[in-house]
Amino acid sequence: MRLLLDTCALLWLADDREQLSDAALDALSKKDTQLLVSAISAFEIAVKVRKGKLALTRPVRDWFMHAVSAFSLLEIPVSSTIAVYSCEVPLTHNDPADRIIVATAILEGIPVVTSDHLILDCPGLATIW
């Protein structure tokens, strides 16, 4: 099974597993699970750090690359197809990072691991929480 991590799920997987739900932990820990992350999550984390809303134990670039390596994540770049489709996804808010993550999941046909109720409520999107 392939799973796409929302940015919050990535942060919690790497630094605060207690924040993950039991269902998310179970899905993330299965041997046949391939974990994916959108490149937009690196941007979203960097913005939060720059604004002082998030503190990491190392510089963002190092933190992100370490997380990718430590959890054998496959990073999905933001293609023009994903970027354009992100404006069409049926989300009730306009957060660009969330829209790109949802567009990626829909186009790739994979569930998103997230606690974000706005993503969880997105029609046609498979989620795990």
Determine the distance from the C-alpha atom of residue 124 to the mean position of all C-alpha atoms in its chain, rounded to a whole number.
17
Residue 66 confidence (pLDDT):
97
Select the CATH number that applies to the domain covering 2-128 from these four: 3.30.70.590, 1.10.3720.10, 3.40.50.1010, 3.40.47.10: 3.40.50.1010
- Mean pLDDT across the chain, nearest whole number? 96
Distance separating alpha carbons of residues 93 and 106, to the nearest angstrom: 17
How many residues are given for the chain? 129
Tell me the pLDDT band of 19, cut-offs 50, 70 and 90.
very high
Q: Assign 116 a pLDDT band (cuts: 50, 70, 90).
A: very high
In this predicted structure, the answer to whether residue 56 has a pLDDT above a threshold of 90 is yes
Q: How far is CA 21 from CA 17, 25, 100, in A?
A: 9, 6, 23
Distance CA 59, CA 103 (A): 28
Q: What are phi and psi of 121, to 5 degrees?
A: -90, 5
Mean pLDDT of 95-105: 97
pTM: 0.94
Please compute the mean of the pLDDT values over residues 114-120 and round it to a whole number. 94
Please answer whether residues 109 and 14 qualify as being in contact, where contact means their C-beta atoms are separated by less than 8 angstroms.
no
How far apart CA 86 and CA 69 sit, in angstroms, is 27
Is residue 85 within 8 A of residue 96, CB to CB? The reply is: no
Res 79 pLDDT > 90? yes
